[in-house]
Amino acid sequence: MTAPISATTSPSDTGSSRPTAGTATAGGNMGKNEFMKLLITQMTHQDPLNPQDSAQMASQLAQFSALEQMTNINTTLQGQAAANTALAGAVNNSSAVALLGRTVTATSNQIVGGAAGTTSVAAIVPNGGGHLSVRIMDANGTTRQTKDLGTVGGGQTSTDIGDLTRDLPVGTYTVAFDLASDTGAVTHPAALVTAKIDGIRFGANGAVVTSGSLTFPIGTIVSVQ
């Protein structure tokens, strides 16, 4: 009877420099080289009387190839996303510079009080309209001024608030619209503020334009006069 054949280990096999089946790159990531070392080690130490099925080995190779292709695609997409972000940032910066000295209308609820304060705001009223009023609040949320605007229809409704802001101490305030429907339900339409741009700030999220103490991200601007 023939004795079973067993794998032998030479003195050099126990050295720390020989790659083993568990060898991987730092951080636990397996790359192409590590996979090939693992595959060669597996083939070298397989039982000659019971070798690994060739179909299974081919399946492993196909799986690794597909994984490598997906990794390469992901790397490419990440590079494209970074390039698109850089391009968008450059466009925003250029747009911000072009707005200096221009009067813009932006989606915002921030206004300025005082003799040189905000004089005009608008509400984006949903279809159906309703009874509209406007409130001006200070930094503590206390209502400082109110104005009844009467019944309005759907769409953009502008109103002069110069008579409300001129008697307020100089500073930044919040404007809010209250829209009451026929059923008594009250909603709060978005506000639009008009201001003249006098500065630009660049930050981690891109460029923003300023008008005194007011700040408008580029994406909130809906029109330029």
Domain boundaries, the chain: 28-44+56-69, 103-224
pLDDT of 224 > 90? The answer is no
Options 2.60.40.4070, 3.40.50.300, 3.40.50.620, 1.20.120.160; which CATH number does 103-224 get?
2.60.40.4070
Q: In the predicted model, is pLDDT for residue 223 greater than 80?
A: yes
Closest C-alpha to 209, from 123, 112, 94, 38: 94
pLDDT digits (tens, 9 = 90+) for 18-36: 444 444 444 456 566 676 6
Whether 177 and 134 have beta carbons less than 8 Å apart is answered as yes
Give the integer Cα–Cα distance in Å for 193 and 158. Answer: 10
pTM above 0.85, yes or no: no
**Any idea how long the chain is?**
225
> Which residues 6+ apart lie within 8 Å of 35 measured at CB?
64
Q: Tell whether the model's pLDDT for residue 123 goes beyond 90.
A: yes
